[in-house]
Structure 1
Amino acid sequence: MKKFCYVIGLFVCFALLNVELGMAQEKAGGYNKDSVYPVNEAYKMFKKTVWRRIDLEEKQNAPFFSRNGELSTILINAVKAGLLFPYTNDSVNTRMSKETFLENMKFEDEGGGLTQEEIDMGFGADAEDDFFGGGGDEGEEPEEEIIDTNEFATRDFSIAELKEEVYFDRMRSRIFYDIQSITLFLPADKNPALFEKPLASFKYKDLVALWRSMPDEAIWYNAQNMAEHRNMADAFNLRLFGSNLTKIANPRDDRIVDIYTKSRRDAILASKQLEYDMVEFENELWEF
C-alpha cells in the first residue's frame, strides 16, 4: 500500500511539474525571434536587458575598426547595397527606409561655396583658366566624379551601442548573454551639432548572417597573429570587445548617467560596480 501511495505521489508531482512548465511556456510565448540562439522563455530563471557602449576607437576595440574593414563601414555599405535592413530604434520592430538612412548620414549644409568676387577672380568650374579648374581641351568633356561632400565618412560612426539579454538558463545552470541589436552613433566631437547622433539600429541576427557571408571582409583583425583573424560574428560571440554598461532596464528607462548625475566619473564608477554586481550575482547563484 505504501509503495502504491509513493508511486501515486510521484505521478502527481510529475503531473504538476508538467502543468507548471506548460503554463510557463504559454505565458512566455515560446522563443525570442530576434535571438541567434533561441531558448524557451520558460527555461530562463532570471533575465535582465542591458545596454553597453562600445567605443571602436579604443585600443581594445581596434580589431573591429581596422582600416577599410571598420564595423561601421561594413554595415553602411551593406545597407547601401541592399544587403541589410536598418531599423529606427534598438527594439528593431520598425524598418527605416533607405532614404532616411542616407539622410541620417548627412550633415546640414552650412553654406559656403564661392563668393561672386572669387568667381570673378577665376576660381570655380566655369573659369576658362586650366589652373583654376575650368577650361580644358576643346571638345573634351570633363570627367564627372560623383562625391557627396555633404555626407559623413563611414569611419566617423565609431560608437556602437549593444542591447542584450542577460539570463540564467535553469537547464544549463549558467548565465548567457544574448545580443539583440546594435546601434551605430556619430560621436559628439565629430558632429557639428555637438551631440551623439544615432544613425540606425540593426538586428544582431541579421548582422551575424551578413558577417558569415563575407568571411574575407568582416574580420576581427588579430594584430598579434594574422593567422588567427576571426570573423566578427565569432568575435562578438567570444565577447572580445570592450564596453561600458550604460543602462539596465528600469521602469523610468533612465540611463546610468541619468541616475548618477553628480559627475561623469561617478557614472563610470557606478557602471563598473553594476557590472561587478552582475558577475557576483552569477557566482552567488551556486550557493543557494
Structure 2
Amino acid sequence: MKLKHILLAGFCLISMSIFAQEASSNPNPNSAHPIDEADVQYRAQIWRRMDLNEKINQPFFAENNQISKFLIEGVKAGLLTPYTNDSLNTKLTLDQFIDRLKIKGKLENGGLTAEEIAAGFGGEAKPAATTGAADGVDDGWGTKKAASSTAEKKVVDDFDKGPIVAGVDYYIPKQLSILEIKEDAIIDRKRSRLYFDIQAITLKIPASASDAGLEDAVASFRFKDVYKFFKNNPNCIWFNSTNEMQHRNMADAFDLRFFSARIIKKGNAANKDIFDQFPNEKEALKKSQKLEQQLQDKEAEMWEN
C-alpha cells in the first residue's frame, strides 16, 4: 500500500515538473505568442516601416476595411488602449487620442498662429482704392490710360487667404497609411528557429499628409491587445482579392507574415535609425536588406551547429 502511495506521489511530482517546464517563464506582456526566456539563444530588437499603399500590403488597407479604421474604432469603443509611443509606458486618454487625429497646420487658420492672426496676417486681401475715370489708371510705365467705361470687378489674389473651416477636421483612416512595427527577432534554441515576436504597432500620419512634411505618430498599441481585438472581430479581414473565399482575419495575416515592411532600425547604443547612419537612401536600403539577411543567416547557423 505504501509503495502505491509513493509511486502516486512520484508521478504527481513528475507531472508538475513537466507542466512547469511547458509554462513560459517571464512571459512578455506585450507579445501575443511569448517565448520562454530560457529558450532564447539570441535576441535583437528591430523596427519596421509598413507602407499600406504598397501592393503587397493593400489587403490590410481595403476600402472600408483599413487596419487604421479598425484601430481607431477599437480605441473609441474602449477595446484598445493607445500609448504615446512604442515604449508602451504612458497611456493616452480618449480625448488626447482624438486630438492627435486633428488636421493641423494649413487647414487651420491658413497655417497661422494665434499671434500672427492677432497681428493682422491672413484674411481677405482688400482691393486697392481706385482712381476716378477722369484721372485714368497708371499702367506702370509712367503713363495713364483711360479707365474703362464698363465697370469691371477687380480680381483679388487670395493666395494667403486661409480656407473656411467649419468645425474641426480630422484625418480619415484612408489617409493614415503608415504602420511602424516594433518586434524582437529571436532565435529559439529549443526549436532552432528564428521567430519575429511583434511587441507594438504605431499608427502614423504619412509625410505627404502632414503639413510639416514629416511622419507623425498618432498612437502606439500593445500587439497582444491588437491581436486579441482582431481575433474577436470577424470584420477585421485581410482582403484576398485573388480568391474572396480565402479572406483571413488580420491577426492570422500577421501570424503568417503576409505583410512587407523593411527594417528601419536595429537596437543600438546611440538609438539611431538607418537613415541617421546612412543619409543616402540607396545606402540605407542596402543596409536594411543586409540586416534582414544577417538574421536569416543566424537561423541557418543554428542548423549547421
Cα distance between partner residues in 2 of 1:36 and 1:78 = 17
**Structure 2 match to 1:230:** 248
Cα distance between partner residues in 1 of 2:232 and 2:123 = 46
**Structure 1 match to 2:151:** none
Equivalent of 2:48 in 52, 62, 66: 52
Equivalent of 2:185 in 155, 166, 171: 166
Once the 2 structures are TM-superposed, how far is the Cα of residue 29 of structure 1 from its aligned partner?
7.2
Map 1:67-216 to 2 at 5 A.
Answer: 67-108=63-104, 109-111=107-109, 149-215=168-234
Q: Deviations over 1:24-71 (max 9, x none)?
A: xxxx97221211112221210111111110000000000000001001
What code does the residue aligned with 1:165 have? D
Q: Runs of 5+ in structure 1 lacking a partner? A: 1-21, 23-27, 118-146
Number of residue pairs matched by the alignment: 233
Structure 1 SS opposite 2:82:
coil
Equivalent of 1:258 in 265, 276, 279: 276
What code does the residue aligned with 1:286 have? W
What code does the residue aligned with 1:264 have? E
Cα distance between partner residues in 2 of 1:29 and 1:237 = 22
Cα distance between partner residues in 2 of 1:242 and 1:88 = 25
Distance 1:107 1:43, change over 3 A: same
Work out whether residues 227 and 251 of structure 2, in 8 Å CA contact, stay in contact via their aligned partners in 1: yes
TM-score (norm 1): 0.76
Q: Deviations over 1:96-149 (max 9, x none)?
A: 1111111110122532699699xxxxxxxxxxxxxxxxxxxxxxxxxxxxx854
What code does the residue aligned with 1:267 have? A
**Structure 1 match to 2:39:** 43
Which entry has the higher C-alpha Rg, 1 or 2? Answer: 2
Cα distance between partner residues in 1 of 2:232 and 2:28 = 23
Equivalent of 2:261 in 221, 243, 246: 243
Identity in percent: 40
TM-score (norm 2): 0.72
Cα distance between partner residues in 2 of 1:233 and 1:282 = 25
**Structure 2 match to 1:120:** none
Q: Deviations over 1:195-216 (max 9, x none)?
A: 101000001100111111111x
Structure 2 SS opposite 1:273:
helix
Structure 2 SS opposite 1:61:
helix
Once the 2 structures are TM-superposed, how far is the Cα of residue 93 of structure 1 from its aligned partner?
2.1
Structure 1 SS opposite 2:195:
strand
